[in-house]
Amino acid sequence: MKNSRRDFLQKVGASALALQLASITSWGAKRETYDGPVLRVAILGLGNYAARVADAMQSCTKAKLVGLVSGSPDKLTKWSAKYNIPAKNCYNYQNFDDIRNNKDIDAVYVITPNSTHHDFILRTARAGKHAISEKPMAINVKQAEEMIAGCKQAGVKLLVGYRMHFEPKTLEVVRMRKEGEFGKIMFFQGLCGFRIGDPKQWRLKPEMAGGGSMMDIGIYAVNGARYMTGEEPIWVTAQETKTDPVKFKEGVDETIQFQFGFPSGATASCLSTYNMNGLDKFFLNGERGFAEMQPSTNYGPIMGRTNQGELTQPATIHQAVQMDEFADIIFHDKQPPIPVDGYEAVKDLKIIAAVYEAARTGKKVSVTV
């Protein structure tokens, strides 16, 4: 087993790769020619997921990879050659602030361990560049709110890598819910998990990750519960299970089951784990219908059905669509169907904090986002 959620997500959809590629080819062929402004992006942190984003951006029409930031000289050399990035657009973590003088870069996408997002996003804002953070945006609410304030003060936009907010099948379910096709929403279930590998990786270090499975994979269920029901939870209960206290040390959650209550009376039951493979399912139930998605959040293809039949929207390259949509948000103030700004990220972090408190105390915790 590979070492991270991203490696896991890469593998989950492999059996349906032919279908995905066919759908993606079809999707690509239907896109219109674009002659508007192109968002020129530097990626900061050149790890596995950054590579996926960089590769995906090769098919973007509204965004382009033009810069690199890394603490590894070897990576800068290899990446600049692979993606044809000029030396003047390559930075290390020490001279990164000089990016303020580079007029060829509009935005910086921070794809580093969770605890480093805060500093890099604030440095990005002070350099006058639009800031994009991978999720979770920060390791706590205080950091996230400081990031929002820093970007607002600098007059730059702050976006978060919620790629599922642009995924066609997901958006179709949200549309159906908004138009009342499921009737009154009663229940949501979100199952998110995989068996994590290398015990020395940063995701199992609380000072770098800000937690464990909840911060890494459970956030999909937290966020999904919100956009699938269209409501914000008002209470949380949670139960933690830990079978390996050596691997999952203090401050690193292995498995958490958590429940939400919503103002309408709807409820949610979710699971986040680093100790079970193949958990990637959303289920939404209403008085007149349902939606089931499995896989629901991996890199593709997303599969799903409702009481009306199979979801047939095309598969897409999530990161490519995300970056093109980010360009529209930054240049044209486009409002996406599901928010992808810093305030959206703060809501998730407030709920995750409530989940941790409920798991620790065994009590029902009120939450206001």
User: Could you tell me the residue ranges of all domains in the chain?
Assistant: 34-160, 164-314+340-366
E strand spans, 36-157: 39-44, 63-69, 90-91, 107-110, 130-133
Torsion of CA 326, 53, 84, 65, to 10 degrees: 10
Residue with tokens 């590629």: 21
What average pLDDT does the segment 51-80 reach?
Answer: 98
Q: Whole-number mean pLDDT of the chain? A: 93
Q: What would the pLDDT profile of 122-147 be if each residue is shown by its tens digit?
A: 999 999 999 999 999 999 999 999 99
Alpha-carbon span 39 to 42, nearest angstrom: 10
Q: What's the angle, vertex CA 137, arms to CA 94 and CA 187, rounded to 5? A: 165
Q: What would the pLDDT profile of 100-126 be if each residue is shown by its tens digit?
A: 999 999 999 999 999 999 999 999 999
Among residues 62, 129, 135, 350, which one is catalytic?
135
What average pLDDT does the segment 202-212 reach?
Answer: 98
Q: What is the predicted pLDDT for the residue at 15?
A: 42
DSSP-assigned letter for residue 16? G
Contact 121, 152 (CB under 8 A): no
Q: Is the omega angle on the peptide bond into residue 336 within 30 degrees of 0, that is, cis?
A: no
Confidence of residue 349 (pLDDT cuts 50, 70, 90): very high
CATH for the 34-160 domain, from 3.90.1150.10, 3.40.50.720, 2.40.50.140, 3.40.50.2300: 3.40.50.720
Q: What is the predicted pLDDT for the residue at 28?
A: 43
What average pLDDT does the segment 160-170 reach?
Answer: 98
What average pLDDT does the segment 358-368 reach?
Answer: 98
What average pLDDT does the segment 261-287 reach?
Answer: 98
Annotation says 220 is catalytic: yes
Among residues 91, 109, 220, 299, which one is catalytic?
220
What average pLDDT does the segment 137-162 reach?
Answer: 98
- In this prediction, what percent of the chain has a pLDDT beyond 70? 91
CATH number of 164-314+340-366: 3.30.360.10
Q: Which amino acid is at 155?
A: G
Q: What is the predicted pLDDT for the residue at 11?
A: 52
Which tokens sit at 312?
């047939």
Q: What would the pLDDT profile of 5-50 be if each residue is shown by its tens digit?
A: 556 555 544 444 444 444 444 344 445 688 899 999 999 999 999 9
Annotation says 281 is catalytic: no
